[in-house]
């Protein structure tokens, strides 16, 4: 049974080629670390000395994970991610 998105990602990553698996795991680990260090009070952190830098670093880690993970995971499921002018958005 899958208990979280992270657990699902880890199970899928096991089935990917080793190089892709390594990149996905590295990106997910960086995002997990950034999430664990993300401040509970975002407003106070943004106003604190160095807080904005920490927030930006976390956002960079999240975006890096998104970029690294989306292509191999989409390919695994056989889906195409991207903008579609015909989908009614």
Specify the pLDDT at position 66.
86
- Its pTM surpasses 0.85: no
The domain tally of the chain equals: 1
Cα separation of 84 and 76, whole Å? 20
Question: Domain of 12?
Answer: 3-77
- Examine the pLDDT at 85 and tell me if it is beyond 70: no
Burial (CB count <10 Å: 0-12, 13-18, 19+), residue 69: buried
Nearest-CA neighbor of 62 among 32, 82, 20?
A: 32
87 lies in some domain: no
- Examine the pLDDT at 30 and tell me if it is beyond 70: yes
């Amino acid at each position: 049974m899958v208990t979280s998105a992270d657990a699902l990602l880890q199970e899928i990553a096991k089935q990917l080629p080793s190089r892709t698996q390594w990149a996905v795991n590295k990106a997910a680990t960086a995002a997990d670390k950034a999430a664990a260090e993300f401040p509970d009070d975002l407003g106070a952190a943004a106003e604190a000395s160095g807080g904005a830098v920490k927030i930006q670093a976390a956002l960079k880690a999240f975006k890096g994970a998104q970029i690294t993970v989306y292509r191999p995971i989409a390919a695994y499921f056989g889906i195409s991610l991207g903008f579609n002018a015909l989908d009614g958005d």
